Amino acid sequence: MLKLSALFPIHCNDRAISHVFLSVCKEWQNSELKARMVVPSCDRSCRDSNLIEAIPSFLAKLYYSSPSLPQIKAEKRFLKDIKKFDVAYLWPGTSVDTVKSVHKHSKPIFLERVNSYQKQAKSILDDAYSRLGLEPQHLITPEKIQNEQQKLKVVDFVFCPSPAVVKSFQEAGVSEEKLLLTTEGWSPERFPNYQSHKPPTEEVNVLFLGFACVRKGAHLLLQAWERAGIKGKLTIFGELEPAIAQSCSHLLKRPDVVHFDYALDYSSAYRQADFFAFPSLEEGSALVIYEAMAHGLPILASPMGGGGIVRDGIDGIILEPYDTDAWVEGLRKLSNSTDLRAKMGAAAGKRALELTWPQVAARRAEQIRQKINTK
């Protein structure tokens, strides 16, 4: 049996990336692979017999008075007994020093990546903000790019959640042998009514769910929606980035554009939609795509937005994000055909059933075993 120690260096609340961490690692408790998880702290609902909180709950307030202390504490706890484990699984945010320390113990290191190579991501986003006449508002610094480069020299393998992420690392010179193509997943138990579909109506409801930001192409969707002249509404469900609120203020005021702030219970947003639109410019493999597909929604997405799981012409339509004419046509095509939406939505729903977390975790476990056996 392989013993794996996983480090997630920020507070774990079972949302966003921490949901991926828990969903994968909690599945690895069997006769072939056993995972131990180390976090600085977590919500009560995340606690598990195989999860270690580095910070005692009664000291959490003290530790979190400093931005860096929780991570330092978690990394020290992780390194304390790394010798007892066969494999190290490091998640985004882990310090370069800790990666190097694990390497000194001669432990195989698997690194989780969420998005594409940061230097490429910075280039994409710098261009996107420039097109809007705005200063870049992302958080990718030269220091972060340098840190990523140092980690990539040391780690043995990198989990990449989509073909686009794999390609970004290949173009950065990372050897193909290090790159493990995987996917994200979804949890049916989070959406007990995911099979309840909205009946077709004359007016369509097109859904964008997530942080409505430049990176996810929210401005491009709003521009295409204005031109498409569709009878229906565009629902944007999620927090607005200031850059979007500023540059698209006139579009957001349209009577056929509805905005809701993010809420923890968003299942109804999927159930009330006719299809899902996601022209992301820089992405790994967004969880909302898996969830939308599970709800039987056809997907209109960019190559990045599709996350490598949306099959063009089967589950939806893949379009280049800056091709506004194509997006206008795609919006009209799905809006005007209930038959096409039904056909693509059914395919998307079947595809999603292959991408639940237990299945995703099992495939990742097999990748780990294969790589360890060949090292």
Query: What order do you get walking across the sheet with 316-318 strand by strand?
Result: 257-260, 232-237, 204-209, 275-278, 299-301, 316-318
- Angle ∠(130,328,252) on CA atoms, nearest 5: 60
In residues, how long is the chain? 375
Amino acid at 208: F
Instruction: For the chain, 375 residues long, give each residue's pLDDT as a single digit of tens.
Output: 999 999 999 999 999 999 999 999 999 999 999 999 999 999 999 999 999 999 998 998 999 999 999 999 999 999 999 999 999 999 999 999 999 999 999 999 999 999 999 999 999 999 999 999 999 999 999 999 999 999 999 999 999 999 999 999 999 999 999 999 999 999 999 999 998 888 878 899 999 999 999 999 999 999 999 999 999 999 999 999 999 999 999 999 999 999 999 777 899 999 999 999 999 999 999 999 999 999 999 999 999 999 999 999 999 999 999 999 999 999 999 999 999 999 999 999 999 999 999 999 999 999 999 999 876
Q: Give the per-residue pLDDT at 196.
A: 85
Query: Could you give the domains of the chain?
Result: 2-185+357-374 (3.40.50.2000), 188-352 (3.40.50.2000)
Phi first, then psi: what are they for 148, rounded to 5°? Answer: -65, -40
Provide the 8-state DSSP code for 238.
S
Helix 163-171 / helix 118-131 crossing angle, nearest 10 deg: 100
Q: Kindly list the distances between the CA atom of residue 249 and the CA atoms of 179, 208, 243, in Å, as whole numbers in the listed order.
A: 41, 17, 10
Query: Looking at residue 31, what DSSP letter applies?
Result: S
The residues pairing with 300 across neighbouring beta strands, listed in sequence order, are: 277, 317
Q: What pLDDT is recorded for position 375?
A: 61
Q: What share of the chain is helix, strand, coil (3-state, %, to 5)?
A: 45, 15, 40
Structure tokens at 352: 């999603």
Tokens of 233: 């509404």
CA distance linking residue 200 with residue 274, whole number of Å? 8
38, 8 Cβ separation under 8 angstroms: yes
Other Cβ atoms within 10 Å of 356 Cβ, number: 17
CA–CA dist 86, 109 (Å, integer): 10
pLDDT of residue 263: 75
